[in-house]
Amino acid sequence: MAEPGRAELAARRVLAGGAAAVALIIGFAMAGLMVRESDLRLPGWFFTLALLVLAAFIGTGVLAPWLDSRQLRRGAVTAATGYLLLLAAFVPAASMSPDLERVPWMLSAASAAVGAALLARGPWFAWTVLIAAMVASTVARGAVGGLDLDGIVNDTQVALASTVVCVVGRHVLSISRELDHAAAAASIATAAESAERGRLAARTRAAALVHDEVLATLSLAGSGLPIPADRLAAQAADASAMVSSLVRDHGASSSSLAADLAAEAARAGAEFRAEVAEELTLEPPVHDAFVAAARQALENSVRHAGASAHRRVTVRGDESRIEISIADDGVGFDPGSVPADRLGLRTSIVGRMRDIAGGAAEITSTPGRGTVVTLTWGRTSPATFAVEGDRKALNAGLLVVGIVYVLGQAVCAVAAAWVSASWEVPLLVLAALLGTAEVLRFSPTARPGPIRTAVFVTATVAIVAVGLSAVPFTFGTTWFVTAAAFLLVALAMRERVGAALAGLGVLVVVVASAGAAAAATPATIAYVMTRPALLIVLAVALIVAVGRMQRRTADLHAKAVATVERTAWDGATQAELAARVDDLDRRVVPMLDRIARGGALTAEERRVCVGLEGELRDEYRAGALAREPLTGAARAARERGIDVVLLDDRGGLGAQGALGGDEADRVAHWMATRMAGARSRVVGRLLPPDREAVAAITVDAETTHFGG
C-alpha cells in the first residue's frame, strides 16, 4: 500500500480521533447509564479484553497527531480486530454468567470499530466489521435476551451510524488522496514551467549583459575609430569582470527595492519618488528584473532623450503588486520605427520583465513628447486544488445510506407499532420523517437555501414533538428522536452546520420537556437524548475538523508548490548562467582581457572583434536561424566585411508559433546559399506566423522569400 500524502495522512488522523471520541464518549458516558447489575457478573477476562480494546481506540486517537501512516494503521488494525474478538468472546463469556439478562450495550458500539477498520484496511474491512457486528449482535440477543423493541431500535440505529461513517469516511479519504495527487501534479508541472522560465530569465540576463557591456566593447574595438585606449581598456575590464560575476551575483539582492531604484535614479540624475515601504523586499528574480530593466530604461533616456530632458522614477505598490514608471520629457521616438535588431528594448527591458511570472513592460513614446517606460509585476495566485473525490463511490454510498435509513426506520416503526396501543402513530411519524427528508434531497443546490433549511429544521423538530406527545417515553418507543438526528446530520453535511446545531438545541429542549411531562427519570431522558446529541455533535465536529484540515493542507501544499517553483527557478537559472559564463569565458573573455591590457589592436584582432560581435548578436536575436550552415556562412561573410543581420520575428525558439527544426534547417541552408554572393549587406529574417512566406533574405537590397 502506497504511503499517503500530507492531506490523506491528516484525514486519517482526524478520523482516528473521531473513532477515539466515539469509543470514549459513548463507551463510558452512556455505559454509566446502561450497565445493569447482571452485566457485572460477566467474567473478569471479558471486561479486561473490553478495556484493552477501548484503550486501543483511545490511544490511537489521542496519539494520532504524532503517528505516521504505518503506526496509525497498526493502531486501527489492533482496535478493529480487538472489537471483532470482543464480539466473538461474548458467547463463551455469557455462558459463564447465567444471570445475564441482555446483551451488554458496549457490543453494539460498532461505528468506532467501522471507522478504525476503514483506516486499517479500507472500505472492504469496514463493511466486514459492520456486517459482523450486526450479525453477532442479532445472534447474541437471540441467545441471551434483548431481541425486543429496545434492541431492534438500538441495532438499526447503530447500523445506520456505522454505514454513514463508512461512506463519509471513505469520501473524506478519497478527497484527501485526490488533493495530494493534485498537489503532486502541480509541483511537477510548476517545477518544469518554473525551470523553463528560469532558463529564459538567465538567457535574458546574460543577453542583457552582452548587449549592455560586451557588444558595445567589441563593436568599438572592431570599428577602428579613434577611441582613447585607456577608456576602451577600462570598459573591456569592466565587461570581463561582469561576465565573471554573472553566476556569483545571482540572487544576491542586498537591499530593498526602493533603495536600489533610488541609487539607479541618482546615477542617472533622475528625480525619485517611492510610494512603497522602505523595507519592501521581493524575491531575487523579481527584484533583479526590476532594477536591471529600470537601469536600462534610464541609460536609454540619458543617451537619447536629450541633454535638457528631465527624468523621473516612481515606484508604487506593495509585496503583491509593484508598478515602476521611468519617464522623461525628452525628444521621444516612434516605438514602431525601432529596428528589430535593436536589443536594448527587446532584451534588457521587455525581455527581462516578461521572463518573470507576472511581469510585464510597456514603452510609450511620441516624438517631441517624451517617453514613459512602465514596469509592472503582480504576484501570481498560489496554487489551488479543486478536488471532488470519488463522486461515483460517494453517490453509490449515499444510495446505500438512504436505503439503510429507510429500511432501518421502517423496521423501528413497525416494531414500535407492533407493541403500541396506537399502532398508527409510529407509521405516521415514519411517513412524516421520510417526507421531510425529501425536502433536503430535492434541494436544487448542494447547500440548501435559508427558507428550505428553516422549513426542514422546523418540520424535523415538530415531528419529534408530536411523536413524543403520542407515545410512552421509553428508548424503544422514541426511536424517531435518533431518526430525526440523522436528518440534522445530513443537513450539517450539506454545509448548514449552524442550522443543524440550532435544531439540536431545540430538539434537546423538546425531549427534556416531554420526558419531564411523562415523569421519566433523568437516566431515561438521558438514555433517549444522549445518542442523538452525540451523533450531531460528533458529526459537526468531524465536518469542521475535516474542513479545516483540508484547507490547512491545501495551504501547505500551495506553499510547497511555491517552494518547488523557487527551487526549480534558482537551479535552472544557476545552471543556465553557468553554461553561458563558460561559453563567454571560452569565446569572448580572452579578447576582452586582450583589449583591457591596452595597446593598439591589429587588423586581425579587429576582425575577430567584429566576428565575435556578429556571432553574439545572432545568438540573441536570430532565434531559430542560429544554426549551421547559416552561422558559418554569416561568419565567413563578416570576415569579408559584409554587414550581416539575422532576425527571428516568429517568436524565437520554444515560443508559440516558433519554426520547427526540420523547416528551420531548410531555411538555414537556403539563406546560407544566397548569402555567399553578398557584396555589402545581408538581412535574413524569419517572418511572423501570419505572413504567407516563412522567411525572407535581402542581399544587397534585393529581397527573396522562402515559401516553405
- Taking only the tens place, the pLDDT of each residue in 221-267 is 887 777 788 888 888 888 888 887 776 655 554 467 888 888 889 98
- The pLDDT score that the predictor gives to residue 655 is 42
- Smallest CA-to-CA distance from 590 within 249, 250, 239, 226 is with 239
Specify the range with the lowest mean pLDDT, choosing from 174-188, 308-322, 512-526. Answer: 174-188
Which sign, positive or negative, has the C-alpha torsion 59, 65, 71, 76? Answer: positive
Q: Given a cut of 70, is residue 270 above it in pLDDT?
A: yes
Structure-block grid coordinates of residue 62: 489521542
Cell output for 428: 405516521
137 is written with which cell numbers?
449482535
The grid cell for 149 is 423493541
- In the structure, what pLDDT confidence band is assigned to residue 34 with cuts at 50, 70 and 90? very low
384 has pLDDT over 70: no
Cross-strand pairs, 648: 686
In 3D space, the residue among 650, 618, 655, 651 whose CA is nearest the CA of residue 635 turns out to be 618
Is 656 a residue whose pLDDT tops 50? Answer: no
H helix runs in 518-596, sequence order: 522-587, 589-596
Q: Does the structure show a pLDDT above 80 at 42?
A: no
Mean pLDDT lowest among 99-113, 476-490, 620-634: 99-113
Q: What DSSP state is assigned to residue 473?
A: S
Min mean pLDDT across 317-326, 360-369, 568-577 is at: 568-577
The whole-angstrom separation of Cα 363 and Cα 350 is 9
What integer pLDDT is reported at residue 365 of this predicted model? 87
Report the chain's mean pLDDT, rounded to a whole number.
Answer: 83
Instruction: Kindly tell me if the per-residue pLDDT of 561 is higher than 80.
Output: no
pTM (2 decimals)? 0.68
Q: Which of 208-212, 280-284, 542-546, 656-660 has the lowest mean pLDDT?
A: 656-660
CATH topology of domain 251-389: Heat Shock Protein 90 (3.30.565)
- Tell me the pLDDT tens digit for each residue of 86-120: 888 888 887 787 766 666 655 667 888 999 999 99
- Give the per-residue pLDDT at 383: 60
Overall size of the chain counted in residues: 708
Tell me what the mean pLDDT of segment 297-319 comes to: 87
Lowest mean pLDDT of 39-53, 71-85, 408-422, name the range: 39-53
Residue 65 scores a pLDDT above 50: yes
Q: Which helix (H) or strand (E) holds 91?
A: helix 69-95
What value does the mean pLDDT take over residues 32-42? 54
Question: 125 is written with which cell numbers?
Answer: 474491512
- Nine-digit cell string for 547: 474542513
Q: Is 389 left (phi over 0), alpha (psi -120 to 50) or beta?
A: left
Whole-number Å distance between alpha carbons of 503 and 457 = 6
